[in-house]
Amino acid sequence: MKILFTTTLGLFLFMSCGNGTGTKSLQKKATTTENITINDSTNVIYFAGGCFWGTEHFFKQVDGVIGTEVGFANGHTENPTYNDVIDEDTGYAETVKVLYNPKKVDLKLLLDLYFLTIDPTSLDKQGNDYGDQYRTGIYYTSKEQLPIINERIKTEAAKHTRPIVVEVTPLKKYYKAEDYHQDYLENNPGGYCHINPALFQFAKDANKKNNH
């Protein structure tokens, strides 16, 4: 059954993720694929889908997702702050780290859900946010994930007349964002989000039939 979601207009029309105020953060340690631990009960994938506030809140709803974290991925500077990423040419994308139990939720489902939250043909723009920090991307952490991702990209491309511009690369570098960005929509229920609110309930229900 296909479900059509329409964009909710209103107060959020003139808001954007970049309207948040940032402060300089303490020194942070970069994460790369070399220090990602993968085992039978825990796996990790990184999704860039525009403003990371909404993308994180969305994936937090999914049964089988163990934890989420927002940060900056695959840029070329060291120890970036939010202000650096927004205002400077750092090359980083706002990204959500998704830890999940592969025995409870399949990567294919996570990819299906991800594509509900983005326009995969929009380059460096999602919702009201513009700039390469808002580009879409799937950053994998194991070679086993890549063919699954490529197959899903192929399926998505068949739905569109315009090319898919979601970048698919291994995670090369990742820094956790400042604490006030973590769980942002839980702490700020009226905060900006480019994702249709109806999708949060959809994500919550998406995997229940498999685990209950």
Kindly indicate the confidence band of residue 10, based on its pLDDT and cuts at 50, 70 and 90: very low
Residues 134-182 pLDDT 10s: 999 999 999 999 999 999 999 999 999 999 999 999 999 999 999 999 9
* 83-101 average pLDDT score: 97
Kindly indicate the confidence band of residue 205, based on its pLDDT and cuts at 50, 70 and 90: very high
Q: What is the structure's pLDDT at 24?
A: 43
Residue 169 phi/psi, 5-degree rounding, is -145, 160
Which one, of 99, 117, 102, 100, lies nearest residue 48 by Cα? 117
Q: For the purposes of burial, counting CB atoms within 10 Å of the CB of 27, is it exposed (0-12), middle (13-18) or buried (19 or more)?
A: exposed
Q: What is the structure's pLDDT at 30?
A: 78
4 vs 179, higher pLDDT: 179
Q: How far is CA 135 from CA 47, 60, 201, 209, in A?
A: 10, 21, 25, 32
Residue 37 has pLDDT above 90, yes or no: no
Query: How many CB atoms neighbour CB 18 within 10 A?
Result: 20
Tell me the pLDDT of the chain averaged across its residues.
Answer: 88
As its CATH architecture, domain 36-200 has 2-Layer Sandwich (3.30)
Active site residue 51: yes
Question: Contact 38/14 with Cβ under 8 angstroms?
Answer: no
The enclosing H or E element of 84 equals helix 82-87
3 state SS of 45: strand
pTM of the model: 0.87
CA 76 centroid distance within chain:
19
Of the residues 15, 44, 51, 138, only one is catalytic, namely: 51
